[in-house]
Copies of this chain bind each other. A is one copy, B any other.
Amino acid sequence: MADTKTRILTKTGELFRRNGYVGTGLKQIATEADAPFGSIYHFFPGGKQQLAAEVIRAAGRMYQARVAEVLNQGTDPARAMEVAFAAAAQLLIETDFADACPIATIALEVASTNEPLRQVTADVFTEWIDAGIEWFVHSGYPRPVARELSIAFLNALEGAFVLARALRSTEPLEVAGATMSAAVSAAAPAPGREG
């Protein structure tokens, strides 16, 4: 069994994804993580807000690594878009439409109500955008185009997750994959330019 702090972080991440930040209580976290209630304040003296900040950052790193792994499976950027959205759709089906973006629910909950946590979600999204820019640059796109494609990719992913979870349908993710694949093809760099 993982150590107590790891169990608290992992279980909090699960609860946040399913019930949101406001809908998750510290007692519930302690119970489900099989941890003494006091251990939460031992590891996270700032309480729920500090715990949430660490969970958001850890989820951001984990999800970025997962998406990078999928994107780096192939060499054709347009095809990689379809593969990435298909992988997201597969995970949604496997988790009964629960596991989508690990921070979107919290991001919307705190955007206008909790400035410190809003900033943490902004940091994660900025890291994702920057990672996407580097990926598209490495695929041969000029940096300004890479920035647009990276943001368009995240727009499509986040939006498709909202619709897919509400509709309990993977169609929005399939449309997003096709749309982004076409956008990436249309913006394709001249052959031999780079990479």
Given A98-B112, A113-B18, A183-B182, is A163 in contact with B158 using a C-beta cutoff of 8 Å?
yes
Q: Which residues of B contact A113 (CB under 8 A)?
A: 18-19, 23
State whether the Cβ of A2 lies closer than 8 Å to any Cβ in chain B: no
A22 to B113, CA, bound (A): 13
Given A148-B175, A179-B148, is A163 in contact with B112 using a C-beta cutoff of 8 Å?
no
State which of A32-40, A43-51, A76-84, A120-128 sits at the interface with chain B: A120-128
A122 to B148, CA, bound (A): 30
Residue of B109, B125, B126, B158 near A158 (CB, 8 A) is B158
Given A148-B179, A152-B175, A159-B154, is A108 in contact with B111 using a C-beta cutoff of 8 Å?
no
Given A104-B108, A113-B23, is A171 in contact with B159 using a C-beta cutoff of 8 Å?
no
Residue of B154, B165, B182 near A163 (CB, 8 A) is B154
Cβ contacts A32-75/B at 8 Å (1 or 0 each): 00000000000000000000000000000000000000000000
Number of interface residues of A (CB under 8 A): 48
- Verify B154–A155 contact, CB threshold 8 A: no
Given A22-B20, A183-B179, A186-B186, is A160 in contact with B155 using a C-beta cutoff of 8 Å?
yes
State whether the Cβ of A97 lies closer than 8 Å to any Cβ in chain B: yes
Which chain A residues numbered 145 to 182 have a C-beta less than 8 Å away from chain B?
148, 151-152, 154-163, 165-168, 171-172, 175-176, 178-179, 182
